[in-house]
Amino acid sequence: ARAAAQERYAVFNESMHNQALARLQLETDLRQAIRRGEFRLVYQPIVDLAADRVAGWEVLVRWRHPVRGMVSPLEFIGVAEDTGLIVPLGRWVLHEGCRQLAEWMAADPDGGPRFITVNVSARQFLDVQLVDEVERAMRDHGLRPGSLKLELTESTVMGDPAAAAGLLGRLRGLGIPIYLDDFGTGYSSLAYLHQLPLDGLKIDRSFVQRSGEMAVVQTIVALARSLGVVVVAEGIEEPAQLEALRAMGCEYGQGYLFAKPLEPEAVAATLRVPVPV
Ligand code: C2E
Ligand code: CA
Ligand code: CA
Ligand code: CA
């Protein structure tokens, strides 16, 4: 029995050791990837459900690993957060997204994208340079107020709602609207929700995709209306989901039914080429 226990302990230990090694390797790779510029951005349309038109694009990061190929952000954002590498990576995402939007707006001033949304993780939100960085990105690329929006998760904001309110207020002062991401999955204090300068709630796809959860969606739509903010439904895959959301008066939607996240070339192909004068 003793030997068996020892063996089990050894196996457990070895797998923990392997996990730690894999994580360390990932961290080393991430550092290198930032230096080597191995990241790319893809863009998923945010659709105005009543007008049936693309209103803006969510920016999502991709890692083209030289050996492993495309690595999902679900695999590396967590490690990037824990190690602080999300700060330089997030700065790159912000600037590259703004640069790309400015290029698209110049190519199609009337019909082109109106805004991008950029995801900001908890660690970035704590970075004292965030507000300056955002201001610089807007200025460097000549973006108008409202054309860059930030997505923050409920847990990022609700960790310290009083501090968050101050920071969100400064961002709003710069003309940066804020969407609360993955809404419904965390704990939101209703009292604080009313005090936060928010512009939208993004309903997590887990609610949109389970037909039994449509009452939750309806409640969030009503809540958003009472707060005076817009609602974006994530993860729309089925026509029936779209119809239900439209019937509830949900303003915006995203999901594979419309489009998966697209390479910039695919987005550019949707723009009208300006008529030369
Ligand atoms: P998120 O912000 O909630 O982004 C939505 C995720 O759902 C994206 O996954 C998107 O590709 C996926 N998605 C969109 N429509 C559908 C659908 O109809 N069905 C399904 N099953 N999935 C859909 P992705 O790109 O893998 O990103 C995962 C998460 O990684 C994001 O979740 C976000 O939390 C984080 N992330 C991605 N890019 C960035 C970034 O630049 N900065 C930060 N801080 N986090 C990022
Ligand atoms: Ca998001
Ligand atoms: Ca989300
Ligand atoms: Ca999510």
Q: What is the mean pLDDT of residues 247-256?
A: 97
The CA 181 to ligand 2 mean position distance, Å, reads 6
Q: In this predicted structure, what is the pLDDT of residue 19? A: 86
- The pLDDT assigned to 249 comes to 95
Higher-pLDDT residue of 277 and 107 is 107
CA distances from 66 to 19, 55, 73, 201 (A): 21, 34, 16, 37
pLDDT higher than threshold 80 for residue 273: no
Query: Is the CB–ligand 1 distance for residue 113 below 6 Å?
Result: no
238 lines ligand 1 (CB under 6 A): no
Residue-wise pLDDT tens digits, 167-179: 999 999 999 999 9
Residue pLDDT, tens place only, 104-125: 999 888 877 899 999 999 999 9
Confidence check: pLDDT of 58 > 70: yes
Distance 121 CA to ligand 1 centre (A): 12
Report the percent of the chain where pLDDT is more than 90: 74
Percent of the chain topping pLDDT 70: 94
Please name the residues in contact with 54: beta carbons below 8 A apart, sequence gap of 6 or more: 45, 46, 47, 48, 113, 270
Mean pLDDT of 74-98: 96
Closest protein CA for atom 41 of ligand 1: 61
**Confidence grade of residue 189 (pLDDT, cut at 50, 70, 90):** confident
Q: Which residue, by CA, sits nearest to atom 22 of ligand 1?
A: 235
Cα gap 81→214, rounded to integer Å: 33
Least confident piece of the model among 63-72, 144-153, 224-233, 255-264: 63-72
pLDDT at 139 over 60: yes
CA distances from 183 to 173, 204, 222, 238 (A): 24, 6, 13, 20
Residue 90: the pLDDT is 97
Distance 118 CA to ligand 1 centre (A): 11
**Which protein residue's CA is at the shortest distance from atom 37 of ligand 1?**
60
Here the ipTM equals 0.98
Any ligand 1 atom below 6 A from CB of 203:
no
The pLDDT of residue 89 is above 60: yes
